[in-house]
Amino acid sequence: MVRRQRRRSLLVLLLLVALVAGGVWLAVSSIQRSEILVRERCMAVVGPETFELAPDQAANAALISGIAVQRGLPARAASIALATSIQESKLRNIGHGDNAGPDSRGLFQQRPSQGWGTEDQVMDPVYATNRFFEELEQVPDYESMPITEAAQKVQRSAYPEAYADHEGEGKAFASALTGHSPAALNCVLKTAEGTGNAASVQEQLELAYPELQTSVHGNQLQVSVDDTTGWAVAQWAVASAKELKIDAVAFAGLSWQRGAGGWSTAGTEPGTVTITLADAA
Walk along the chain (281 residues) and give the pLDDT tens digit of each residue: 555 555 666 555 555 555 544 544 444 444 344 567 778 999 998 888 899 999 999 999 999 999 999 999 999 999 999 999 999 999 999 999 887 788 999 999 999 999 999 999 999 999 999 999 999 999 999 999 999 999 999 998 877 788 999 999 999 999 999 999 999 999 999 999 999 999 999 999 999 999 999 999 999 999 999 877 999 999 999 999 999 999 999 999 999 999 877 899 999 999 999 999 998 65
Please report the pLDDT score of residue 37 as a whole number. Answer: 79
Say which residues have a Cβ less than 8 Å from residue 270's Cβ, sequence separation at least 6: none
Query: Which stretches does DSSP call E strand in 139-219?
Result: 185-188, 214-217
Say which residues have a Cβ less than 8 Å from residue 135's Cβ, sequence separation at least 6: 154
Alpha helices (H) in 197-276, listed in sequence order: 198-208, 227-239, 241-244
Q: Is there a contact between 187 and 55 (Cβ–Cβ < 8 Å)?
A: yes
Please report the pLDDT score of residue 15 as a whole number. Answer: 58
Q: What angle do CA 203, 134, 207 make, to 5 degrees?
A: 5
Closest of 56, 55, 77 to residue 66, by C-alpha: 77
Distance CA 96, CA 104 (A): 6
Q: What angle do CA 203, 276, 55 make, to 5 degrees?
A: 70
Q: How far is CA 246 from the centre of its chain?
A: 12
Please report the pLDDT score of residue 158 as a whole number. Answer: 72
Say which residues have a Cβ less than 8 Å from residue 89's Cβ, sequence separation at least 6: 106, 107, 108, 109
Distance CA 198, CA 15 (A): 53
Hey, how many other C-beta atoms are within 10 angstroms of the C-beta on 280? 9
Please report the pLDDT score of residue 244 as a whole number. Answer: 97
Looking at residue 138, the DSSP 8-state letter turns out to be: T
Please report the pLDDT score of residue 161 as a whole number. Answer: 83
